[in-house]
Structure 1
Amino acid sequence: LPDMGGIIIDFSDRESQNNNEKSVSERPPGNPLSHETPRASQEALLPRRGALISDRETYRSSQEATRSSRDAHSWPGDVESQPLRENADDFITKFEKRQRRWLGGCEILWKRHEPHVKHAIKIKETLGENPPLWKLLNIAALSGNMWTLDSKQLAIAKKHKIITDLPKIKAADIDDKNKSDALVKILAVMQVIWMVVQLCARVYYRHPFAPLELSTVAFSATAIILYFVEWDKPKDINTPVYVKAAKRSVSEEAFTEIVNEAPFPYMQQRFWQYKHYYMPTIAFHETDGDLKHIDRQSLVVAMITVISFGGIHLLAWNLQFPTPVEGLLWKISATMTIACPTLYCSSHLPFMGKSPKDAVKIETLMVKAVVGFTTFFYIFARLFLITESIRSLYYLPRGAYISTWTADFPHMS
């Protein structure tokens, strides 16, 4: 749940707000408000008329200053395209206004928290003149009164006594927030199975089929694998669990440690050095003893997905294409969709079960070359398969339009 943004630490000083509201609501009946002053009291206030007018003018001028300040902080145009001002906290202002732009007129609970702003500015100054935008956004998000932390950062917050206890959330509470519908997944699987039955019927009667049908089955098979892998994963959890912070502010040491443990720390390196990270897709943070187990599961799922996707396209090996060259390119592309991911996964073998620090030590130039080579050819192969699947529809043989018994069988489409 925390790794999906479902737990928020709240630093807001709500006790003072509640006390103010309570004092207003518990005002005794005999103590009228200022605009309900009796006539006798008004007569007593007549000598202070000049003072009241002065106070009123002061209040009006302060309101105008507040309004002009609010207008100056309006957020026109694209946020990222605007140059930074000289203010040290300008990146926090950008972050705050960016949230307003995306959320429109919705109320935003996130507000600036001055003790955190000071820490954020200090860390930002250590990043140099042109720090990456994603890094600034991470730091700016922690400069407010609401912290959305993942599981590793929550543990750090507990260690530094920012929160007294971790939230006690039962599995039933998470399942209750889940908006995933098993019936929708089952219907999708049934549709894919029916498509496979139709293709099998055409093969049995020796009727040609369109490459687009194979591509549809291949993409659907990949989706089915994801359905099974993420069957129990909660979906669209929009209401977080708020945890009241034990402290109104945190130390600079704790703030820095939480920033450094933010998700996707591997992006601190250059793009082509992303091998410095350990970030499995099925768990953000695990103990070192479980790294090999997680890596092994991820590798098995990846290989099954790759082989199923490319293998299904290879079933069109003997199909009739518009030209012999296109048929040859189809075979090469289908083979590359299996070979390239296999080489890519093989490049991960030296890093299996390794922590990020150990992974840095064994990084080699050969690994970078393999990753770049496989990525380039895999993208080319996928683009060609999609393009050729659509292009071949204009050159289908007559037999592709002959229906089988599946057309008369009751089914959903």
Structure 2
Amino acid sequence: MQSAKSEAGPIPASIELRDVASCDNQNSQRTLAGIVWSCISTIFLCTWVAVHPNVHFKPEKQNQSRIEKWLWDPLHEFVTYKLPLFLWALLVPEYILAWAVRQYVQAAVISKRVPGWTRTHGHFMIMGGFHLFRLPAKAPSAPIPREFSKSSDFVAPSGRHSRCDEVPVCPLKFEDVPVDILEIIAPTETELKDRGKSDVLTKLIVLVQTLWFVAQCTARRTQRLPLTEIEVVTLAYATLNLFVYVFWWDKPRDVECPIRVYKMSTTTHEESGEKAEEWGQNLPFPWMEKIIAYTVGLQDNSVTLSKNCSIPMFWSGRVNSNLLFVAGLGPSVLGTAFGAIHCLAWGSEFPSHLELILWRVSCVAMIAVPFIVAILCAVKVLDEQTVEVLPVWLSVVVITCAGLTLLSAWLYIASRIATLLIAFTALRSLPPLALTTVNWTTLLPHV
């Protein structure tokens, strides 16, 4: 008696391969550790590697012990500078994007004022790449020549002296150094990029990793497979990170040593440009003015660089008010989209009803707060472009948005913390389909 298989004839090879692929896809499951690792690594790329900090200048110390040099100083640098910057990028990533956009805009403005400069030069100038030093009293020097025989307070060392005796003064902004002197002392674009700690290949690797994560999440939605809450949070970071990288592409990363610009020990330094504003002049309490100023990027107007030993963390230069609010409008809209991405988990299966309510309330807050800032920036752009006085109702909108910004600033940060915590606590109870892998053969038939 012949078997049923022999009676039916041989099974086509295409059917066998399809059945094997289908069985492999059903049997392949994601692990919880794999999900967590993929998300944490992507978030790390978005909040640590993607951030291009300003130059954090630290005067060199002589005769340091090994413990102080290799342990205490790096730990102090991490706690006082890198960790706060990481927390800003983790809790308020839209602000990092707005900071990148402001520097991108101001770098373009500066690069057009100096012949031969590129946007990389503009970024380097803004990020504190030029620092004023005073030469020792007996150090020989020669004044740097200027066009049309103008006098110059800036000098170049012309003899032997110990660089350890040079005294750091303050970071320099663009207005502090004449253009013809900048043409002499500024490095080339290749030299500036050499000072950075990352190259084009490194940035491309980060972008590919980010895009691959976005592609995976998109594929899961296409095949109606649920995303875990931590994947939704990571997807929001990855989407925003793409724009951050675009605006900081030409900015050197992790530059630690600025270029030294010299003056004689007997020469005084007077900061150029408009005098810095004092806090508390426009609102009853300085903290209220600081919240609004930092939200829209006006905090640089209250900074006196000549009184600082290093460039401020979020310094972008004193951007023209019209360009400032234009630069803040786009990131605010993208910030609203950042909050909206979290709504992908609106109908997810949460372990408890309380977590579901907190997630939804946090999503609404993360959408509403950036949207309020976007309205405020849009009205201010309209105000800057019109000569006439704003209508009463638009003035009411500005005051209302400013008031809501003061009231909702802490609500936004609380919502960010809540979504991050819930994203991890929800991992204790995942639906079965959340561990199912994507069937790439359905999306890409040739795979």
| Smaller-chain TM-score bracket | 0.5 to 0.7
Matched to 1:236, the amino acid is D
- The structure-2 alpha-carbon separation of the partners of 1:390 and 1:299, relative to structure 1 and needing over 3 Å to count, comes to same
Correspondence 1:347 to 2:381? no
Superposition pairs for residues 14-413 of structure 1, below 5 Å?
15-16=138-139, 109=164, 145-152=167-174, 154-155=176-177, 165-166=181-182, 168=184, 169=186, 170-245=188-263, 248-250=266-268, 255=270, 257=271, 261=275, 270-274=286-290, 275=292, 277=298, 279=300, 283-286=316-319, 290-304=320-334, 306-349=335-378, 351-352=380-381, 366=400, 368-406=402-440
d(CA) in 2 for partners of 1:110, 1:271: 40
SS of residue paired to 1:9? strand
Superposition CA RMSD, Å: 3.9
Contact map agreement 2:362 2:418 (CA 8 A) in 1: yes
d(CA) in 2 for partners of 1:210, 1:198: 12
Deviation at 1:397, TM superposition (A): 1.4
Match of 1:12 in 2: 135
Q: TM-score, normalised by structure 1?
A: 0.54
- The structure-2 alpha-carbon separation of the partners of 1:376 and 1:407, relative to structure 1 and needing over 3 Å to count, comes to farther
Count of equivalent residues: 266
SS of residue paired to 1:387? helix
Contact map agreement 1:199 1:209 (CA 8 A) in 2: yes
d(CA) in 2 for partners of 1:379, 1:238: 30
d(CA) in 1 for partners of 2:181, 2:223: 66
- The structure-2 alpha-carbon separation of the partners of 1:3 and 1:317, relative to structure 1 and needing over 3 Å to count, comes to same
Matched to 1:388, the amino acid is I
- The structure-2 alpha-carbon separation of the partners of 1:335 and 1:285, relative to structure 1 and needing over 3 Å to count, comes to same
Match of 1:67 in 2: none
Deviation at 1:370, TM superposition (A): 1.6
Q: Please tell me whether Structure 1 or Structure 2 has the larger radius of gyration of its CA atoms.
A: 1
d(CA) in 1 for partners of 2:210, 2:272: 45
d(CA) in 2 for partners of 1:108, 1:259: 30
d(CA) in 2 for partners of 1:171, 1:240: 15
SS of residue paired to 1:396? coil
Percent identical across equivalent pairs? Answer: 21
Deviation at 1:407, TM superposition (A): 11
Contact map agreement 1:347 1:370 (CA 8 A) in 2: no
Deviation at 1:336, TM superposition (A): 1.5
- The structure-2 alpha-carbon separation of the partners of 1:249 and 1:205, relative to structure 1 and needing over 3 Å to count, comes to closer
Match of 2:23 in 1: none
Runs of 5+ consecutive residues of structure 2 not aligned to the other structure: 1-123, 142-161, 302-313, 385-394
- The structure-2 alpha-carbon separation of the partners of 1:401 and 1:317, relative to structure 1 and needing over 3 Å to count, comes to same
SS of residue paired to 2:345? coil
Deviation at 1:344, TM superposition (A): 2.6
d(CA) in 1 for partners of 2:139, 2:432: 79
Runs of 5+ consecutive residues of structure 1 not aligned to the other structure: 19-106, 112-144, 355-361
Deviation at 1:3, TM superposition (A): 2.8
Deviation at 1:233, TM superposition (A): 0.9
- The structure-2 alpha-carbon separation of the partners of 1:186 and 1:267, relative to structure 1 and needing over 3 Å to count, comes to farther
Q: Could you report, residue by residue, the CA deviation over 1:11-58 in whole angstroms, capped at 9, with x for unpaired residues?
A: 22364489xxxxxxxxxxxxxxxxxxxxxxxxxxxxxxxxxxxxxxxx
